[in-house]
Amino acid sequence: MQFHLLAAAYLFFKHRWKFLLGVLVAVIVLMGVTLAIGKIYQNLDRDPDRGAIAMPNGALGESFATPIYLDQGWNVADTLWYYNTTQGSALIPYDFFIALEQVDSEILFRDNQHMDLFRYLPQKPTFFNPDGLPVGFTKEYYRQMNYVGFTCAACHTGQVNYQGQAIRIDGAPAKADMVSFLLALEKALVQTLADEAKRHRFNERVLALRHDFMDADQVQDALHHWTTKIELYNRINHSELEYAYARLDAFGRIYNRVLQYVLDKGQLRGILLELLNDNDQPLLTAAQVDHALDAINDTIIGDDEFLLIVERLMSSAPGAPALDEQSMYLIRDALFNEPNAPVSYPFLWDITHSDYVQWNGLAGNAAVGPLGRNAGEVIGVFSILDWSAQPPGFSLSAFLTGQRKKLKHIDFTSSIDLINLQRLEAQLKSLTSPVWPEAVLGEIDRPKAARGKRIYAKYCQACHELIERDAWDRMVIAKMSDINLVGTDPTMAENSVNYTGRSGNFKYTYQDTGVGPLVLEDTAPVIQILTSATTGVVSSADPDKFLFRRWLDWLYTLGLSFFENDVKYSVKAGQYRPDTTTRPYDSLLAYKARSLNGIWATAPYLHNGSVPTLYDLLLPAKRPGDPENGEYRPQQFLVGSREFDPQKVGFKTEGYEGFVFRTDLKGNFNNGHEYAAGRTPQPDGTVLPALDPTQRDELLEFLKTL
């Protein structure tokens, strides 16, 4: 039998090798043509203003002329492609976002004045953005439906205003208040459902677009569905700590989305039966739990099923528990973790030259690390996760996530666009840090800066190395500092390691760590679960493409990740707790120091945005017993303004209706990193004397040059 098979194979290849070679050549040519067309398309949007517009009556009392751009290595087309390239985010149907009105108003929700209130940057219509959506909002097409979603630019494009002149800075931290935006979106959707006149206008606008909806009933069904989804997302991710502008607990929210989608029916049933009410009585009976979970998939609870369970738990129908909001929050707390550690949006220049990224160095940047990191990010910003349970059989994602011996395995189909994530990462290679614009913000005192450079070498350079901003071979080495050494607010680092959740179908699978493989238990660190989930996503091809192209694109993306990524695996630098077999993620209980190129454009400072200016960062935090007449970091200040203070190097902190940032709340602490104040030891243990006012001024002048 084996002889006959070998003979047949020999004859096939003998007579078909020319055909196979021709197919291979055709595939290579097709891919080349596709890539060439893509490159041409990428350069089609050439609006000279890069879509930016003036705002004569902007939010928070601001007004500014059409923003200018600094030379950061990108041309007009590069910027506009970055702003508008989808990554697979699907917040709500696109037509809904176009048609939706604000609460108690007939003005559109997407109106520039309204979006500016959340500090999203307004834009005019351009080729890639025909409806003039703000920076970082774009149209996503997935499985015959158009959605509005976020791009990288929504959180990583900054603006500095000074005396009426605005400067857009690509890759800089955004001022965006995503939480308030999502809460306002929820209220607008809810009111549209409830208000007959508003609903009628909404229906007319959506149907007039003639895109994805054919009649009013279809619009109303979808409106109810998406309103419920946004409501659920906001409930799951409610935090007692307000984020306000320029911050987001992205990892906390990514963690919660993953926990929602990996949960299995048995685990959920066990959790619901264990819950007690205020009288220490079972919150739900077994019959009520079984009713809520009737006909739900055993292996994985899909998005629609999760919404159905919530609806059943809150229903007042016979046999249903009719749970109130307080009881639903009890369930929320049992399933998810509070995302209460908001951090500043990091800047993106030099990210492709960095060995480790994220504030606590969580993500290695070697090999396919960037692809996994970006896939995790899109999970957090509303990708559609069409994950499903599949019968036994070979699956690459099941193999790589350790599910090959499971009775059923999770298929990780999603809207996440891997090839665009790879292209966006490649685009960031050419982005350089912004140079202080002396023509707008004032000239740098070079002799003073030279004196400041010597102070920098002594006080800062052990952690914040100096690099050439445009050197092609530059490498940004993350210098990790244990949270107890650097002394800054520990909440983000602690949450990343200590948060746990139910592992679903990943239970009893092997998870690689830096100290060896671990077996995931029923309850596991969310970081382990997230790693498995992103591995599954990265190993799944795009379902929106026909079979042949789907796998060619996937192979091309993986190939680029390996062969175009110059970052190789390396041991972390700095002082941190080593990972051990009993504590495999202890190295994450640290924060990262990195090159400070462009630091002037990235206020507020520290990882949690608790210090408004570089001037304030050089001061000590006030401690009990400190004299009242000393100079300290502000204990509270306003955030939200884009108006720049070139003397203190940061944004305006008073004189407008912004958000009051309080530093006495956990997650907002402004202590630590007090090297210039003579309180935090250097890496070698030396405590240098506090800088005097003249020295601080000189160091600040040098920081402007970076």
Beta bridge partners of 149: 138
Answer yes or no: pTM beyond 0.85: yes
Q: What is the mean pLDDT of the chain?
A: 93
pLDDT grade for 9, boundaries at 50, 70 and 90? low
Residue 554 has pLDDT above 60, yes or no: yes
Return the pLDDT at 472: 87
Q: Give the phi and the psi of residue 390 in degrees, each rounded to 5.
A: -120, 150
Q: Is residue 341 helix, strand or coil?
A: coil
Q: Is 493 left (phi over 0), alpha (psi -120 to 50) or beta?
A: alpha
Q: What is the DSSP letter of 586?
A: G
Residue 581 has pLDDT above 60, yes or no: yes
Distance CA 293, CA 298 (A): 9
Q: Give the phi and the psi of residue 476 in degrees, each rounded to 5.
A: -100, 115
Which residue is it, tokens 């891997």? 418
Tokens of 554: 């996937």
pLDDT grade for 40, boundaries at 50, 70 and 90? confident
Return the pLDDT at 42: 85
Distance CA 300, CA 627 (A): 58
Nearest to 250 by CA among 109, 331, 152, 122: 152
Task: For residue range 495-519, list pLDDT tens digits in order.
Answer: 999 999 999 999 999 989 989 999 9
Residue 2 has pLDDT above 80, yes or no: no
More confident residue, 28 or 536: 536
Q: What is the DSSP letter of 354?
A: B
Quick check: 453 and 422 in contact, CB under 8 A? no
Average pLDDT over residues 305-317: 95
Distance CA 84, CA 441 (A): 29
pLDDT grade for 281, boundaries at 50, 70 and 90? very high
The per-residue b/e assignment along 552-587, b for 16 or more CB within 10 angstroms, e otherwise, is bbbebbbebbeeebebeeeebbbbbbebeeeebbbb
Distance CA 227, CA 223 (A): 6
Distance CA 501, CA 532 (A): 13
- For the chain, first and last CA: distance in Å? 72
Task: For residue range 231-276, list pLDDT tens digits in order.
Answer: 999 999 999 999 999 999 999 999 999 999 999 999 999 999 999 9
Domain boundaries, the chain: 59-176+178-242, 251-335, 348-437+448-513+528-592
Tokens of 215: 């009649």
More confident residue, 306 or 564: 306
